[in-house]
Structure 1
Amino acid sequence: MLLPSFRLDGKKAIITGAGRGIGRALALGFSEAGAEVILCSRTKSELEQVKAEIESRGGSAAVFPMDVTSTEEIKQVVAEIYQTYHQIDILINNAGMNIRSKASDVTEDEWVRIMDTNVKSAFMMSQAVGTRMQENNGGSILSVSSVAGHVALKTGVVYAASKAAMIQMTKVLAYEWGSSGVRVNSIGPWYFETPLTKHLLEDENYLNDILAVTPLKRVGQVEELIGPALFLSSEAGSYVTGQTLFVDGGMTINGF
């Protein structure tokens, strides 16, 4: 059969930041594609809601609350996950945050919080899971970066630096782990409607500025990230590694 498979039947996928927004959408989408999803974030109540929604649709999900900024907690929870599932096929590093400060106003605390949540968590999760994937001769790791890691935006210098770091981390991990059959990629979203962007998009002037540099002239819906993530995580993307796919309505080609 020539048509590559986007299905994830029998696969087990860890998704961080799975309680809301992009993480929730990917959890629902991956479940619909056949994966058993393992939901991780700080807020157990949000994860339980996503789990219930997945199960109401006939899918399978499990909840493992975790503070992704804690290296020790990552090691402990990942060990618990492997005791239960023995093998993980997919890791989605989605947990992230931003504090919008001008560069001259950034505090050390802001720097640490953003970097720990966005970069440190993605690396430590990748290390904890990727090591085991290498032992099992295969797996797929996908991190959620941003167009802010590729072009200069007024989204905050620390956020931009963290997302750029994720893109470079993706390349290096793909290079180091490729010989063991582990693929490492990332996606770079532009503006999508999420709980974190809702108040920004309600500002008409702010929204118009976004649309002015977006060839498709609209913001994205989180469901539109499922297809790109599935491609990079499934057998359909089996020869793709070290890449960042920008899901941005054409924003990064605009040259504004």
Structure 2
Amino acid sequence: MAENLFDLTGQVAIVTGASRGLGQYFSRALGRAGAKLIVTSRKAGDCDAFIAELSAMDIEAKALMLDVRDQTSINAFAQAAPSLFGKVDILVNNAGMNIRKPAQEVTWDDWNAILDTNLRGAFFVAQGIARHMIERGYGRIINVGSVTSVRGFAGLGPYGASRGGIKQLTMSLADDWGVHGITVNVLAPGWFKTAQNAVMYEDAGWVEYLVERIPMKRPGAPNDLDGAVVFLASEASRYMTGQTLLIDGGVTVGSTRAILQKK
């Protein structure tokens, strides 16, 4: 029988920011592929209902508190996580936030909150877990970026800076840690409806505008990311590192179909 390159049986995966949204979809996908899970949230108990859901799916999972904006929390988490199942093979750096404002209205505190969460936090979580991976000579780190890692959008200045930074950071970490058997890649979703941006999808005109610019003619559904996260976590991607994998329905193509059809 051919080797199943996507089988994660026996692997242990961390998914940060798993109390809601894409973090939960990533967790389910990895769990269905066979991984044991460590899911995190900023507040104790926020993942309890999700742990019960995973248990009902016969997915073994445990929760830890983690505030990626707090150095003490990160350090404690990095110490505790490997002991839960005896090791960590996979890290999905998913915790993130956004504040949408015109550039001229962004405050100092807005900037710090976004960059501290999405970029600084991601780095130090990766650093903490990578120390354990380096000892074992193996690891898969998946930094969650976005279409804003490679494209600019009005009203998303600090967020785009953080996601562009994730892309550059990932390339550096891939070079640092490749010699230790650790791959580091970016999973970059396009336009997906999440808790962070749900209000935008209540505007039918905006959704129509968006769909016109997506070659596949729809926003992403969260399970469209299942294959990508399993791929990056598995042996199927063992010779891929420092790369940004865009799952965006083609929006970064810069489609002109809608313009041409109106001529």
Q: Given the superposition, is the C-alpha separation of residues 4 and 238 from structure 1 closer, same or farther in structure 2, using an over 3 Å criterion?
A: farther
Identity among equivalent positions (%) equals 36
What is the CA-CA distance between 1:84 and the residue it aligns to? 2.9
The corresponding residue for 2:261 is none
- Looking at structure 2, the residues matched to 201 and 134 of structure 1 have their Cα atoms a distance apart, in angstroms, of 42
The corresponding residue for 1:111 is 111
Q: How do residues 1-256 of structure 1 correspond to structure 2 at under 5 angstroms? A: 2=2, 4-254=4-254
For the aligned residues, what is the CA RMSD?
1.3
Runs of 4+ in structure 1 over 6 Å off: none
- Looking at structure 2, the residues matched to 123 and 248 of structure 1 have their Cα atoms a distance apart, in angstroms, of 24
| 1:41–1:68 CA contact under 8 A, matched in 2 | no
- Looking at structure 2, the residues matched to 182 and 32 of structure 1 have their Cα atoms a distance apart, in angstroms, of 23
What is the CA-CA distance between 1:83 and the residue it aligns to? 2.9
Give me the TM-score of the superposition, normalised by structure 2: 0.94
Q: For structure 2, which runs of at least 5 residues remain unmatched after alignment?
A: 257-263
Give the secondary-structure state (helix, strand or coil) at the position aligned to 1:194.
coil
Larger radius of gyration: 2
Deviations 1:115-135 (A, max 9, x none): 011001110010000121111
What is the CA-CA distance between 1:250 and the residue it aligns to? 0.3
- Looking at structure 2, the residues matched to 113 and 79 of structure 1 have their Cα atoms a distance apart, in angstroms, of 25
- Looking at structure 2, the residues matched to 61 and 86 of structure 1 have their Cα atoms a distance apart, in angstroms, of 13
Give me the TM-score of the superposition, normalised by structure 1: 0.96
What is the CA-CA distance between 1:224 and the residue it aligns to? 1.1
| 2:29–2:229 CA contact under 8 A, matched in 1 | no
- Looking at structure 2, the residues matched to 244 and 4 of structure 1 have their Cα atoms a distance apart, in angstroms, of 24
What letter matches 2:210 in structure 1? I
What letter matches 1:57 in structure 2? M
What is the CA-CA distance between 1:50 and the residue it aligns to? 1.1
- Looking at structure 2, the residues matched to 38 and 177 of structure 1 have their Cα atoms a distance apart, in angstroms, of 22
The corresponding residue for 2:260 is none
- Looking at structure 2, the residues matched to 100 and 203 of structure 1 have their Cα atoms a distance apart, in angstroms, of 15
